[in-house]
Amino acid sequence: MKARQNTILITGGGSGIGLALAELFMKNDYKVIITGRNLKKLQEVQAVHPELYITPCDVTKDEDVEALVAFTKKQFDGIDILINNAGIMNLFDSGKKGNDLEKQLDEVNVNFKAPMRMLHYFLPQLKTSTNAVLINTSSGLAYVPYCQSPVYSGTKAGLHFWTRSIRPQLARHHIRVVELLPPVVATKLAEEADLTDSRLKPMPPEKLAALFWKDFTSGKEEIAPGISKQLQFFSRLAPRFIFNQLNKQSVPKIL
C-alpha cells in the first residue's frame, strides 16, 4: 500500500536555509518535520509555526537517527522526502601549527558522512512512498573550492559526486535525487564563516527557497541559484580563472 506522498523531513531545519525550506513546504501543504541538535531552538520555531513537527536528532549519531526512523514510522507511517540540509562550515589554515584535528573530522562527519547515514536508515521508508525524493544540500563551493574553508569545500565536492553517483541507482527504485547548491546565503553559518559582508552578496534564505521551488517543481535535478550557476559555468569554461577570483586570499583573516 503506497498512499503516503507528502511528509518531509529536514535535517537542520531549525534555522537558515532549512527553516526557509520548511516554511515553503508547509505553505504547499506538506507535513514538515524538522530536526537539529538543539531542542530549545526547535521549540522556539514551533511556537511560531505550531503546525510543524519537531524532534531532536544529531545526524552524526546512529542511535539518534535510528530513533528518528522509529519516530517517523510511528507518527506518519514514514517519510516521502528527505532533505539532508544540516551542515557546518569552519575556516582553517591547514599550514598552521596546532590546528584542531577533531574539529576538521567533525566537519566531515556532519557534511559528508551524515547524508549517507540518513539515506542508509531512511531508504526503506523512501522505497514505500509514491513521491520519494532525496534532496542533498551541498554548495556552490562543490564546483570551485574556497581555500579558506578547505574541509568544507572537500566535503561539499564529495557530497556533489556522491549525489550524482546515487541518482541513477535510486532512480531504479523510483526515488528522485535532487541537489541544491546554494550560493552565499544570509544565515548564521555564513556569518560565522565571515562571508556575509563579502562581495558575494548573501541571498536571503526566503529568496533561495523560492528559487529552489521553481526548479524543484519543474523537475530539475541540480539546482544552482545565483552565483552558484556562475561557479558551475566557469568551473568548466575557465577553471583556473574562477579559482583565482574566488581565492584572492587563501588564508582566513579572522583566525
Ligand X SMILES: NC(=O)c1ccc[n+]([C@@H]2O[C@H](COP(=O)([O-])OP(=O)(O)OC[C@H]3O[C@@H](n4cnc5c(N)ncnc54)[C@H](OP(=O)(O)O)[C@@H]3O)[C@@H](O)[C@H]2O)c1
Cα(133)–Cα(126) distance, integer angstroms: 8
- Least Å distance, CB 193 to ligand X, is 8
Q: Are 115 and 166 in contact (CB under 8 A)?
A: no
Task: Give the one residue of 6, 26, 30, 37 binding ligand X; rule: CB under 6 A.
Answer: 37
- Verify binding: residue 91, ligand X, rule CB under 6 A: no
- Verify binding: residue 9, ligand X, rule CB under 6 A: no
Q: Are 23 and 31 in contact (CB under 8 A)?
A: no
Cα(22)–Cα(81) distance, integer angstroms: 12
Cα(239)–Cα(244) distance, integer angstroms: 9
Closest to ligand X by CB, 4 or 146: 146
- Least Å distance, CB 117 to ligand X, is 10
Site string for ligand X, 166-205 (x = CB under 6 A): ----------------x-xx-xxxx----x----------
Cα(2)–Cα(6) distance, integer angstroms: 12
Closest to ligand X by CB, 108 or 166: 108
Number of Cβ within 10 Å of residue 91's Cβ equals 20
- Verify binding: residue 69, ligand X, rule CB under 6 A: no
- Verify binding: residue 149, ligand X, rule CB under 6 A: no
Residue with cell 569554461: 237
Task: Give the one residue of 9, 17, 126, 231 binding ligand X; rule: CB under 6 A.
Answer: 17
Cα(242)–Cα(230) distance, integer angstroms: 9
Cα(217)–Cα(192) distance, integer angstroms: 32
User: Which residues, numbered 106-135, are part of the site for ligand X (CB under 6 A)?
Assistant: 110
The set of cell numbers assigned to 157 is 565536492
Task: Give the one residue of 14, 78, 145, 154 binding ligand X; rule: CB under 6 A.
Answer: 14
- Verify binding: residue 12, ligand X, rule CB under 6 A: yes
Question: Rounded to the nearest 5 degrees, what angle is found at the Cα of 121, between the Cα atoms of 119 and 76?
Answer: 100
Which range of residues in 83-91, 124-132, 169-177, 213-221 is near ligand X by CB under 6 A? 83-91
Q: Are 20 and 213 in contact (CB under 8 A)?
A: no
Task: Give the one residue of 11, 72, 90, 153 binding ligand X; rule: CB under 6 A.
Answer: 11
- Verify binding: residue 99, ligand X, rule CB under 6 A: no
Q: Which residues bind ligand X (CB under 6 A)?
A: 11-12, 14-18, 36-38, 41, 57-60, 85-89, 110, 137, 139, 182, 184-185, 187-190, 195
